């Protein structure tokens, strides 16, 4: 089963900022771009306080918790000409732990930004004093950070795996199948439905491997292996550009190791004695 690196156990999520801050990790965003605040070794740099340049355009700030005793903040501000990039630009430049914290950071900012007003009565919402929630000043409804559960699965048959290309993928890249859970569905029902809809085949012998938060924008991806049962490939044309069976020793370009799709593929290859 896939598990996050042990270092994740050192992160303690909290809402209330401590009175004394000695140094902190700051995840600083300007819209969809993050301040690239790490050294050449890919280590995120802790700071005694946020650079004064970024405090003048401050839009929101949230205490996230602490990592190994170092406090963590997520901030939205005007980054101007600072060294910045998309969240995806962190792939391969920093470790999984800091990428996951950056993902947590951007999801908190997005949640706060879109819950300024109550979705029930339209009145102004305010931060809860001790919980991660926005509270309507009129009707009292609580709005917590939203997660969208989804499945991601590798369909396999002996030494072959079924991989697909989404229309948004770079040319030549293939990956596992994925889709969001519909209201009233179990995870298993979602998996079978999504595979059938996207590539037309039926699967069985579902095996859960692990999960990964995926902040694009707020998914929680539940990873599975699924054994091919029956049917021929029929593409869901509006979503899938191509899907093929590939020999496990002759795979096309697949996602990098930061993605759960790659971990699922590597897990299956490892069981066959193949190391990618």
DSSP string over 110-149 = HHHHHTSB-TTT--BEEE-SSSS-EEETTT--EEPPP-EE
Question: Does 182 sit behind a cis peptide bond, omega within 30 degrees of 0 on the bond before it?
Answer: no
Distance of CA 47 to the CA centre of its chain: 25
At 9 the pLDDT is 60
Containing 245, the helix (H) or strand (E) segment is strand 240-247
At 7 the pLDDT is 44
Domains 6-114 and 148-271 share a fold: yes
Pick the CATH number of 6-114 from 3.30.360.10, 3.40.1710.10, 3.90.79.20, 3.40.50.300: 3.90.79.20
Distance (Å, rounded) from C-alpha 251 to C-alpha 246? 6
At 1 the pLDDT is 43
Containing 111, the helix (H) or strand (E) segment is helix 96-114
At 8 the pLDDT is 57
Report the b/e string of 145-177 with b at 16+ CB within 10 A. Answer: eeeeebbbbbbbeeeebbbbbeeebeeeebbbb
Considering Cα of 27, then 31, then 32, then 34, what sign does the dihedral take?
negative
At 2 the pLDDT is 47
Burial of 245 (0-12, 13-18, 19+ CB in 10 A): middle
At 4 the pLDDT is 45
In terms of Cα–Cα distance, which of 161, 153, 164, 169 is closest to 221? 153
- Cβ proximity of 255 and 262 under 8 Å: yes
Residue written as tokens 């930004």? 113
Domain residue ranges in the chain: 6-114, 148-271
Cut 0.95: pTM above it: no
Mean pLDDT, contiguous 10-residue spans, the chain (276 residues): 51 93 93 87 82 90 94 95 90 83 94 95 95 95 95 97 94 96 97 98 97 91 98 96 97 91 95 86
The 10s digit of each residue's pLDDT in 195-251 is 999 999 999 999 999 999 999 889 999 999 999 999 999 999 999 999 999 999 999
- CATH number for the domain running over 148-271: 3.90.79.10
Distance of CA 172 to the CA centre of its chain: 23
């Amino acid at each position: 089963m896939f598990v996050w690196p042990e270092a994740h156990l050192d992160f303690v999520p909290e809402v209330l900022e401590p009175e004394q801050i000695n140094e902190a990790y700051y995840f600083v965003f300007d819209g969809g771009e993050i301040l690239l605040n790490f050294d050449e070794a890919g280590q995120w740099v802790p700071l005694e306080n946020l650079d004064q340049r970024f405090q003048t355009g401050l839009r929101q700030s949230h205490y996230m918790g602490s990592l190994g005793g170092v406090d963590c903040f997520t901030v939205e501000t005007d980054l101007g000409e600072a060294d910045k990039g998309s969240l995806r630009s962190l792939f391969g430049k920093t470790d999984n732990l800091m990428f996951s914290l950056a993902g947590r950071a951007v999801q908190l900012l997005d949640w706060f930004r879109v819950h300024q007003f109550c979705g029930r009565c339209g009145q102004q919402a305010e931060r809860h004093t001790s919980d991660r929630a926005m509270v309507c000043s009129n009707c009292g409804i609580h709005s917590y950070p939203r997660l969208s559960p989804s499945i991601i699965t590798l369909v396999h048959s002996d030494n072959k795996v079924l991989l697909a290309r989404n229309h948004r993928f770079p040319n030549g890249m293939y990956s596992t199948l994925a889709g969001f859970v519909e209201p009233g569905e179990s995870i298993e029902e979602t998996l079978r439905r999504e595979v059938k809809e996207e590539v037309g085949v039926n699967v069985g012998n579902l095996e859960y491997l692990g999960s990964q938060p995926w902040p694009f924008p707020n998914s929680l991806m539940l990873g599975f292996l699924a054994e091919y049962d029956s049917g021929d490939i029929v593409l869901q044309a509006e979503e899938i550009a191509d899907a093929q069976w590939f020999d496990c020793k002759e795979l096309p370009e697949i996602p990098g190791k930061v993605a759960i799709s790659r971990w699922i593929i590597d897990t299956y290859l490892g069981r066959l004695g193949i190391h990618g």
